[in-house]
Amino acid sequence: MLHHRTVKEQYEQAAARDQLKILIVGAGIAGVTAAQLLRKDGQYPVLIERHAGNSHPGYMLALMPMVDSALNDLGVRDEYRENSTALKSYGFHGHKGKLIREDSMSAILDRYGDYRGIARGELLDVLTLGGCDVAFDTTVTRIAEMDGGTQVTFQSKDETRQFAFDLVIIADGIHSSTRKLVMGDLPVDIVNTKWGGWVVWAPEDDNMGLGEELWGAGFFYGVYPVKGKLGVFLGGAIDDTQKGPAKFVSEVQKKLTVINPRMQSCLNEVAQTPDAFFWSLDDCRCLQWAFGNTILLGDAAAGFLPTAGIGAGMAIESAWVLSRMLRYADGGNTGALLKAYEKAQRPRVEAAQKTSRGLAKIMFRQSRLLAALRDLSMRLVSVEMALGPIQKLVADRPDPDSLAKRALEK
């Protein structure tokens, strides 16, 4: 679990025991994974979070087998399985609600490892079993590379402090405020779909291995099982969702000719949850991750649209690759390791992100004619075909130890 501990308290412990003083900015999935892996290796990175507590409203995640290595290294694979649900099949509904096809996900991904649904809060609890120190309500206001290390200025409530680090990992999300401090005026490639939607929870049912999606004309509906409940997303163009969830649900229902019991239950939950978490569907891609002894990680480096269900998995994999490579760091070679990490991992992440962006162009459509044509094509395209590039990434696992050794041989 996450426990508040000030930057000063964490830094004093790190300075007393670590050869390499590390700062991690952001206690989301990527930042926590990196912190816990480094701590498992005997390091004590300082971890900070801008929010006042672990108050994220949460949403559902589908995690592919690329996360297994990190979970194994942390020793929490069994706990992960106990707190998640196996995703066995995927159902695709046409734009009027009729089920067009149902494909086995087990047949596609089981050969590589687990494919499971889990709530974000449950995942953080699994990752932080045994405890995880973090300084809440703390931000970075300045980062300066100097001869004696990287000087970082922190702001926490009414207190300002400054400490020196050998490595800074920026993992504070897609809208990172820290990223600008090292990137300056370098551009960030952003895709703004001008769509968004609500995330709510619905009661579990008798088919908890089935995830479903409906790509409508002007809306998108998805239901994704996690342990004990169903994660539901309903979204559309921002101009339409501004009418509120109840009104939007009413308009969606008018476009459907087939509404099965699960769909009706989930739509009711959206309509009746006025304080539902609203997810703006945009992403970002930074064209450079490594800056001296500072590195971007997770959504701060490449934030994903949720269309391929792989963003969180890539964030965990990236944290694992980075932390394993840092086993070879001695202070003097940190910059070289970070460059090698970026060279190897950025193409993988961007390949996955390309798939997410490509699916978004197909899914987020207003035209009924295009939606009908899309239905016809989806009768012929299996999930296995659609996720072909993702399967290649899952099958071709990175080898961080070899990457680090090659980088240090040069």
Give me the amino acid identity at 375.
Answer: D
Residue 273, φ and ψ in degrees, nearest 5: -115, 85
CA distance 328 to 337: 8
CA gap 249, 380 in Å, rounded: 29
DSSP-assigned beta bridge partners for residue 163 = 152
Strands 22-25 and 46-48: parallel
Q: What rounded mean pLDDT belongs to the chain?
A: 93
Homologous superfamily in CATH for domain 2-190+282-409:
FAD/NAD(P)-binding domain (3.50.50.60)
pLDDT band at 271 (very low <50, low <70, confident <90, very high): very high
Q: Domain extents for the chain? A: 2-190+282-409
Rounded to whole angstroms, the Cα distance separating 279 from 410 reads: 44
The pLDDT, as a whole number, for residue 54 is 64
Residues 315, 299: contact at Cβ < 8 Å? Answer: yes
Bridging pattern class, strands 85-86 and 116-119 = antiparallel
Q: What is the structure's pLDDT at 341? A: 98
Neighbours of 15 (CB within 10 A): 14
Backbone torsions φ then ψ of 198, nearest 5 degrees: -100, 145
Structure confidence by residue, pLDDT tens digits, 100-156: 999 998 877 778 888 999 999 999 999 999 999 999 999 999 999 887 789 999 999
Residue 351 pLDDT greater than 70, yes or no: yes
Task: Please state whether beta strands 159-165 and 219-226 pair in parallel, antiparallel, or not at all (unpaired).
Answer: unpaired
How does residue 189 score in pLDDT terms, banded at 50, 70 and 90? Answer: very high
How many residues belong to the chain?
410
Backbone φ and ψ of 54, nearest 5°: -80, 70
Query: Between the CA atoms of 364, 349, 113 and 127, what dihedral angle is there, to the nearest 10 degrees?
Result: -100
Q: Does residue 298 contact residue 319 with C-beta atoms inside 8 Å?
A: yes
| 150, 140 Cβ separation under 8 angstroms | no
43-83 pLDDT per residue, tens: 999 999 999 876 555 789 999 999 999 999 999 999 999 99
* Residue 142: half-sphere exposure toward Cβ, Cα within 13 Å: 10
Q: What is the pLDDT of residues 289-315, one digit of tens each?
A: 999 999 999 999 999 999 988 999 999
Tell me the Cα Rg of the chain. Answer: 22
394 pLDDT band, cuts 50/70/90, is: confident
Any idea what the Cα angle at residue 271 is, between residues 63 and 250, rounded to 5°?
115
Q: In what order do the strands lie in the sheet with 149-156?
A: 138-146, 149-156, 159-165
Q: Copy the structure tokens of residue 208.
A: 């908890």
The answer to whether 225 and 231 have CB atoms below 8 angstroms apart is yes
Q: Are 169 and 24 in contact (CB under 8 A)?
A: yes
